[in-house]
Amino acid sequence: GFGNECASEDPRCPGSLPEGQNNPQVCPYNLYAEQLSGSAFTCPRSTNKRSWLYRILPSVSHKPFESIDEGHVTHNWDEVDPDPNQLRWKPFEIPKASQKKVDFVSGLHTLCGAGDIKSNNGIAIHIFLCNTSMENRCFYNSDGDFLIGEFLRLQTRSLLTDPWPQRGMRFSIDVFEETRGYILEVYGVHFELPDLGPIGANGLANPRDFLIPVAWYEDRQVPAGYTVINKYQGKLFAAKQDVSPFNVVAWHGNYTPYKYNLKNFMVINSVAFDHADPSIFTVLTAKSVRPGVAIADFVIFPPRWGVADKTFRPPYYHRNCMSEFMGLIRGHYEAKQGGFLPGGGSLHSTMTPHGPDADCFEKASKVKLAPERIADGTMAFMFESSLSLAVTKWGLKASRCLDENYHKCWEPLKSHFTPNSRNPAGPN
């Protein structure tokens, strides 16, 4: 369940959770008690996030952090001049393991973002491209939460485990093949379920479908040194320690990693005419201080039925006060059957026009309407933000994946204006 108070013990150490208190003078099994706080102590109960961890050694048992090369990770939003054009990227290329081994951290590339890490306000969108597992290395983010959407299969170990780590949670990623994926990072706030309003008590992403991990530990010495990598104020730092950090024997609280299977999303859609806005497909939201305005929304476009009558069913043409980054995990996106490919992406910036390509418009305007399945075998998603996103130098140049011909998909659009006929004949 999303945000629940939970408790877990590794079954190898029954009774490892203290009874009746958090911080006894001596913990069961002579463990160390450590609190992980994801909110200020004085936050209201509804937003207060913390967990108590009972571990073999505390997190502080490491040598000093030293700065390391951050590669393509950045929070410099002024690397290149602004570009208001519609942007689309071809599938980001995964380095071949036979040429160079790249793990999750080494394969992080910042694509775009906005805001300020030091003031805890903003977001970043990253692409990860990797081909090998993190061996005796873990990562944690002091700047914000990571929402990770993988394109291929990966496995995550964390201080608890699982793939959507919140701020400060250590994790290590194993991969079984050349792998890429998308990351939405938010500074200063946490993701939460959107309010449902008139939808009622049930629908969209149901809380019960979010999974959180059970306690698991390894008591493992690493004589050659285990590397803990920290992203702090947009820079990377590394510290060595002699033991595995995944030594949590028991824990309780509500500040945990979590995961969610997008197939469980309960889709809401129009059953009469016109479109509901895409906000009805919101899985998680990171709220700003303005009511109803998100720093970031995570939105998906899953398989569903389309039944709207007398309606142009693909997404409408649009200019938006929000920034819209879209990615495709698999399949074919309905509004652009060609060019927008799995492993690529697109960015439509604040007030930049976008919508179906010419071929989609012509077909959808003439087709005889009947109930139909939409997006079977497809999973497209959107990271939407109230911030005006700046693209990095890697995104515009070094990635070498920018599609210079994206704008041409709209060039064949032509006028169908009939000034002498208000009601032109249609297919229905």
d(CA 61, CA 285): 35
Torsion of CA 261, 264, 269, 275, to 10 degrees: 0
DSSP code string of 108-138? EEEEEEEEETTTTEEEEEEEEEESS--SSEE
The kind and range of the H/E element at 172 are strand 171-175
Candidates 168, 163, 172, 93; CA nearest to 133 is 172
Q: Is 354 annotated as a binding residue?
A: yes
Q: What angle do CA 413, 375, 91 make, to 5 degrees?
A: 70
d(CA 397, CA 93): 14
Write out pLDDT tens, residues 251-296. Answer: 999 999 999 999 999 999 999 999 999 999 999 999 999 999 999 9
Q: Is 324 annotated as a binding residue?
A: yes
The residues annotated with a catalytic role in the active site are 275
CA 203 to chain centre: 20
Torsion of CA 149, 331, 410, 357, to 10 degrees: -120
Query: Which CATH architecture best describes the domain 262-405?
Result: Sandwich (2.60)
Handedness of CA 291, 163, 379, 327 (dihedral sign): positive
Write out pLDDT tens, residues 332-363. Answer: 887 676 788 999 999 999 999 999 999 999 99
* Tokens encoding 4: 């629940």
Write out pLDDT tens, residues 85-110. Answer: 999 999 999 999 999 999 999 999 99
Write out pLDDT tens, residues 158-188. Answer: 443 346 899 999 999 998 889 999 999 999 9
Write out pLDDT tens, residues 23-73. Answer: 999 999 999 999 999 999 999 999 999 999 999 999 999 999 999 999 999
> For residue 428, what pLDDT is reported?
56
Most confident stretch, 153-157, 223-227, 355-359? 223-227
Q: Is 126 annotated as a binding residue?
A: no
d(CA 296, CA 314): 24
Could you tell me the residue ranges of all domains in the chain? 63-245+256-260, 262-405
> For residue 163, what pLDDT is reported?
64
Q: What angle do CA 66, 68, 69 make, to 5 degrees?
A: 165
